[in-house]
Chain A
Amino acid sequence: MSIAIVKKSGPFAHGYSSVQKTMFLVLLALTPATVSNLYLFGWPAILLFTVTVGACVAVEAACLALAGKPVVATLADCSAILTGWLLAMSLPPWAPWWIGVLAAIFAIALAKHAFGGLGQNVFNPAMVGRTVMLISFPVAMTVWVAPHPLFSAGAPGLADAIAITFGGHMPDAMSAASALGYVKTELSRGIPVTQSMGQVPDLMDMTLGFRAGSMGETSLLLILAGGLFLMAKRIISWHIPVSMMGSLFLIAALFHAIDPARFTSGTFHLMSGATFLGAFFIATDYVTSPVSKPGQLIFGIGVGLLTWSIRNFAGYPEGMAFAVLLMNSLTPIIDQYTRPRAFGRTRKGEPLPLKEKL
């Protein structure tokens, strides 16, 4: 009886989680909200979604081939699909095809592979893709449409959709403003929040997704359901979503109480923009968020506060993507200062003092 020489230390038991399984569960959690939004925004959204995800996979494959890494095996980890998926959800649903492709190139080639591929990137790839597009093509990136559910009256058919996505024929009459954008514009015209709030969709419509916005900004309930599913599956923990939404709500509520004419309410901030998508799916990205729980709390609070600040004081009505990217850059330093205390040692790493016995 001879046995193989083992060249590796223990343990000789391993759990059943894997990168692929983790990514797959996140995709599964995104599916209900995505299907609902593809239905609401119709054929152009379906085309843009397909183009964006496809472009991400293609760019990933090209980068892997260039770097001499195994292409098929690495693509199987689904990380490129997830990036493309989240990216598509952050774009205006009727945006032209080249927005999706360019965003994919920036997300995958620049934000991910230039840093060394999966796990090495400092910034959230999908948010880099979206932000570069927003800064470079502010017009195309802020043309929102009201939902036109598939097969409903006035919704574009497949042929119209091809014209919209690939032909650049955006029907003028259809554009609408997102709630955050509308309030901001009105405010700049001197119309107080108290008045402009009467024009934004009511809470019920915002919750269900019947409002203008990027795909992932709407359908809060389904995004929430997906987030809770990920928590139940222990893919994400409560720390980032709760600290992020909590801090955003609290600071918004505080300023709303001080000056309701200038600042919108906490509830409005939670319900509008990409708050839910960002809290559950963007800010929780493993690679670009801190590893320890205290670090994740700090990160979440930072994203919440920055989002509110950017929405209120910066040039853009929506601040989630910027806030996430800014906090991404702080992740290494947060990690360094929030390492857990080692067993039997003080925070500084000195052995604990021996206490006098009772």
Chain B
Amino acid sequence: MKLFPIRGGIHPEYRKEQASEKAIVVMPMPAALYIPLQQHIGAPAEVLVAEGDLVKKGQMVARNQGAVSASQHAPTSGRIKTVTDVTAPHPSGLPQTTIILEPDGRDEWGELPEPIPDPFTADAHTINDRVAQSGIVGMGGAAFPSAIKLNLGEQKKLDILLLNGAECEPYLTCDDRVMREYADEIIDGARIMAHALGTPRVVIGIEQNKPQAIATMTKAVSAFSNVEVIAVPVQYPMGSERHLVQAITGRETPALKLAADLGVVVHNVATARAVHHAVRFGRPLVARVVTVSGGAIREPNNVLTPIGARVADLVEFCGGFSARPESVVNGGPMMGQPLASLEAPVVKGTSGILALTVEEINDRPANACIRCGSCVTVCPCGLSPVDMAAFIRKDNLDVAAKLGVMDCFSCGSCSYVCPSHIPLVHYFNYAKGVLRELENDRRKSERIKTLAEVRTIRIEKAAEAKRAALAARKPAADAAPSGNVPSGNTGEIKAATEEKVNA
């Protein structure tokens, strides 16, 4: 099949061999699990348990609330120790509400929802409800609640379900291993998702540096005429949703739109496998495969980790540190987040835990920019990092915004190639944060302004009504009723008010 070129990109040192040949191993249950209420994009889940409750594996311990949210389930059987604030797996290291579960060692499944007997005849709602009920979120790292993405079929006409198996981040091999070891489960899950979405085609995109995964998956899809595996070039950031869609379909997602607006929905391969478990067995998402790697890890591995296991326990399971890590990263080295503490738990979006040495990170003090233009050449978004950074340095964020800093998704290609080691992504993240805050402030003040105007109109209207009533009484006294004009005015004001409120 003909592929389409994507702009820019880099070829970093992949270092996937550290873990790629390690078959998935199961991590023994740690002494305690820390299940944050928010492991996803959207609103945190609502706690359903209290201190001392006994829970079974798979039992819902927190329910999704609001339009965008995901439920949490007990990853094993045990007792709820407490619900308290624990360090979040976030660079800020700030605490968030977390359920602490003490496993009882029996790992007993609770009562699970019935498997959906024949998902391909079930309607989309049944499948989406099951996915929502099972707490499944995007497992590629973004952790967006999957059920919402599966509902897109109702609003838009879709033609392709694109399964993302690119895994373009260096070091990470969890998707590679899952594809090699559980190809049939992924494809079953993908076909169920395609059925729910109403997409006739399923395409699985895998980077060419995973030949075994490509071979296994190609063999596994041979039975299904509407499912195909496509090997995509090794070019970071191929795994970015918009870029993978462009490489495979040639469709360029417009800014501020979704790939779904072009008829393509993208899900990660591990998410498809979670859907398979939820639909075929009623099992919620309670564990995931995490790549533990990096030069400072004694025994790099791909570990099936219960959600909520502390990073410290996971590292311990992989032999601990062999050297002092300069940074411990949650995710891949390019787009992952630094961990502020090893006490933070593994969550549904944790694809990797990397303990990286100084040599691996190879960061150096920044020099002057020599305008070599490498950043412009490699930017997959077609931006000019050199110019944006110059304006951000001078705190001229409006110009940076005009140059498209909000379109940057922090893939890190520019920072990677910069010969002067200028922390470009750091500048852009700063600018994005400030600009977002300014935008929020602007919206807030606009809302306040609207409300104030509406209030003024309301008061005027009341005064007008009062005057009208007074005027009506006077002519009544003069025995000549003529109250039409004021009431007409009131109607106009009412329309204006409604307009304001609706705006």
Q: With A21-B419, A340-B376 as known contacts, state yes or no: A353 contacts B384, CB within 8 Å.
A: no
Q: Which of A32-78 contact B (CB under 8 A)?
A: 77
Contact of B242 (CB < 8 Å), options: A287, A343, A351: A343
Please, which residues of chain A bring their CB within 8 A of the CB of B321? 1
A77 touches B367 (CB 8 A): yes
Contact of B315 (CB < 8 Å), options: A1, A22, A342, A353: A1
A352 touches B252 (CB 8 A): yes
Q: Which of A332-358 contact B (CB under 8 A)?
A: 335, 339-345, 349, 351-355, 357
Query: CA of A17 to CA of B373 in the docked complex: distance in angstroms?
Result: 13
User: A18 within 8 Å of B by Cβ?
Assistant: yes
Q: Residue of B at shortest CB range from A10?
A: B412
Query: CA of A79 to CA of B423 in the docked complex: distance in angstroms?
Result: 22
User: B257 within 8 Å of A by Cβ?
Assistant: yes
Contact pattern, B 248-266, Cβ under 8 Å of A = 1, otherwise 0: 0000111111000111000
Q: Residue of A at shortest CB range from B369?
A: A119
Please, which residues of chain B bring their CB within 8 A of the CB of A188? none
Please, which residues of chain B bring their CB within 8 A of the CB of A19? 367-368, 370, 419-420
With both chains docked as a complex, state the minimum distance between the C-beta of B356 and any C-beta of chain A, in angstroms.
Answer: 5
Which of B50-58, B136-144, B332-340 forms part of the interface with chain A? B332-340
User: A232 within 8 Å of B by Cβ?
Assistant: no
B342 touches A11 (CB 8 A): no
Contact of A13 (CB < 8 Å), options: B12, B370, B402, B410: B12
Query: CA of A79 to CA of B429 in the docked complex: distance in angstroms?
Result: 31
B404 touches A5 (CB 8 A): no
With both chains docked as a complex, state the minimum distance between the C-beta of B315 and any C-beta of chain A, in angstroms.
Answer: 7
Q: Residue of B at shortest CB range from A345?
A: B255
Interface size classification for chain B: 35 or more
User: A6 within 8 Å of B by Cβ?
Assistant: yes
A10 touches B410 (CB 8 A): yes
User: A315 within 8 Å of B by Cβ?
Assistant: no
A13 touches B361 (CB 8 A): yes
Please, which residues of chain A bring their CB within 8 A of the CB of B425? 9-11
Query: CA of A286 to CA of B420 in the docked complex: distance in angstroms?
Result: 13
Please, which residues of chain A bring their CB within 8 A of the CB of B91? 6
Contact pattern, A 314-342, Cβ under 8 Å of B = 1, otherwise 0: 00000000000000000000010001111
Q: Which of B367-399 contact A (CB under 8 A)?
A: 367-374, 376-377, 379-384, 386-387
Query: CA of A289 to CA of B379 in the docked complex: distance in angstroms?
Result: 19
Which of B31-39, B181-189, B224-232, B323-331 forms part of the interface with chain A? B323-331
Query: CA of A166 to CA of B421 in the docked complex: distance in angstroms?
Result: 43
Query: CA of A3 to CA of B355 in the docked complex: distance in angstroms?
Result: 10
User: A8 within 8 Å of B by Cβ?
Assistant: yes
A342 touches B417 (CB 8 A): no
Please, which residues of chain A bring their CB within 8 A of the CB of B341? 2-3
B329 touches A15 (CB 8 A): no
User: A4 within 8 Å of B by Cβ?
Assistant: yes
User: A251 within 8 Å of B by Cβ?
Assistant: no
User: B13 within 8 Å of A by Cβ?
Assistant: yes
B380 touches A343 (CB 8 A): yes
Please, which residues of chain A bring their CB within 8 A of the CB of B367? 18-19, 77, 118
Please, which residues of chain A bring their CB within 8 A of the CB of B29? none
Q: With A286-B371, A340-B376 as known contacts, state yes or no: A9 contacts B254, CB within 8 Å.
A: no
User: A14 within 8 Å of B by Cβ?
Assistant: yes
With both chains docked as a complex, state the minimum distance between the C-beta of B426 and any C-beta of chain A, in angstroms.
Answer: 4
User: B170 within 8 Å of A by Cβ?
Assistant: yes
- The residue in B91, B410, B419, B421 that gathers the most chain A C-beta atoms within 10 A of its C-beta is B419
Please, which residues of chain B bring their CB within 8 A of the CB of A246? none
Contact of A5 (CB < 8 Å), options: B340, B381, B426: B340
Query: CA of A273 to CA of B7 in the docked complex: distance in angstroms?
Result: 38
Q: Residue of A at shortest CB range from B427?
A: A9
With both chains docked as a complex, state the minimum distance between the C-beta of B328 and any C-beta of chain A, in angstroms.
Answer: 5
User: A310 within 8 Å of B by Cβ?
Assistant: no
With both chains docked as a complex, state the minimum distance between the C-beta of B392 and any C-beta of chain A, in angstroms.
Answer: 13
Residues of chain B having any CB pair with chain A under 8 Å: 7, 10, 12-13, 91, 93, 157, 159, 170, 242-243, 252-257, 261-263, 312, 315, 320-321, 325-329, 333-342, 354, 356, 360-364, 367-374, 376-377, 379-384, 386-387, 402-404, 407, 410, 412, 415-421, 423, 425-426, 429
Given A14-B418, A343-B380; 17 other pairs, CB 8 A cutoff: A1-B312, A8-B363, A10-B415, A11-B335, A13-B13, A14-B362, A14-B364, A14-B416, A19-B367, A118-B370, A291-B372, A342-B383, A342-B407, A343-B243, A343-B255, A344-B242, A344-B252
